[in-house]
Amino acid sequence: MPTDEPAFCTIPGQQGLATHAQLLEAGWTTPQIRHRRSTTWQTAYPQVIAAHRGPLDPPTMLAAAALWAGDRAVLTGLMALREWGLTTPHPRRAYFLAPASARSRRHGDLEVVRTSRPVPVARRHGVVAITGAARSLAEASAREPVSPDDLEALAISILQRRLATPRELDLELWHRPRREVEAARRGLDAFRDGAWSRPEAALRQVWDGRPDLPPLQTNVGLEQMASGQYLGCPDGYAAALGMVIQVHSRQHHQGIDDRGGDRWAQTVEKDGAMVSAGLRVLGVTPWTLYRRPSSFLSRVDALVRLGPPAPPPQVRVVPPR
């Protein structure tokens, strides 16, 4: 490096990146920058530069996208939901919202969209400003090719994780035409009815489609009357049948939890505790509820024909833990 060149900018939160304007401010000249870009530097996005030619990881590329979008732009949509810790379909484009006085523009997989509505920054990851989860979902519903099933599931996940309240999501969805956010609103309605996931919402829908079945409570805690032992929070509880329903999915019941415990082992043990308390446990997969609900209902009908268990399970409903 020639001795008359200044040092490359080191700016906190920018993942080792700098914009052309920042380099000029640091004392670089345009010819020097042009020379470095053609030899030892690389351009992540237009006017956004890394001081090496090695690979750029996803956090660095996201920071580069935010620098390209500008300091008034706020990340939204699926990319923002991923920053909130949600599992989403693969985003095809990173969307940024900017004030109406800004300029809409697009480059490759990036797009800045002007909006007349305020765009509050809910959190920051370094240089990346992020919209709230409710706003991000509404924008994804309107702008991105996401399936209705995925939008419904994302709405429930946002509410279940308390990333937004039902009121906040409801208000955000009202800002969009109903046809654009219909699936997300289904998720909101399902959560209000007690569902904590899309499979549980499907369980509620399948059960309610059979008015001859006894009442089903969803996501209530159960404990033994005599000992006070907490048995768990089944996905469904039909007291008249002495039956609990557990929706078992690979996503939520396999792997290791945050405390290092085996999720599947915990599921089996909880089901066993309910059986020991005299409850009938009916397991079902999300696929069955989505694609073959009649198969699930035939198993329920078989239990109905058996009648209530004798003696009845000595359990009571308590708040979930």
Where are the strands (E) in 149-274, listed by range?
221-224, 230-232, 236-238, 243-247
What is the number of alpha carbons within 13 Å of residue 186 lying toward its C-beta? 20
Q: How many CB atoms lie within 10 A of CB 32?
A: 16
**42-89: pLDDT as tens digits:** 999 999 999 999 999 999 999 999 999 999 999 999 999 999 999 999
Query: How do the domains of the chain map onto residue ranges?
Result: 70-192, 198-318
pLDDT at 223: 92
- Overall CATH class of domain 198-318: alpha beta
CA 229 distance to own-chain centroid: 33
Distance of alpha carbon 96 from alpha carbon 111, whole angstroms: 6
What contacts 245, CB < 8 A, 6 or more positions away?
203, 216, 234, 235, 236, 237, 238, 282, 283, 284
CA distance 275 to 243: 10
* Polymer length of the chain: 321
pLDDT digits (tens, 9 = 90+) for 197-208: 788 888 988 999
Res. 260 pLDDT band, cuts 50 70 90: very low
Average pLDDT, the chain: 89
Give 90's contacts (C-beta < 8 A, 6+ positions apart): none
Sign of CA dihedral 249, 150, 164, 204: negative
> Average pLDDT for residues 249-267, to the nearest whole number?
45
Helix (H, G, I), strand (E, B) or coil at 40: coil
Place of tokens 């053609």: 38
CA-to-CA dists, residue 139 to 148, 219, 253, angstroms: 14, 30, 30
String of DSSP letters for 84-121: TT---SPPSSEEEEEETTS--EEETTEEEEEESS----
CB-based contact 301:241 (threshold 8 Å): no
**DSSP conformational letter for 254:** S
Bridge partners of 315?
224
Q: At 111, phi and psi to the nearest 5?
A: -150, 135
Per-residue pLDDT tens digits for 157-205? 999 899 999 999 999 999 999 999 999 999 998 888 777 778 888 898 8
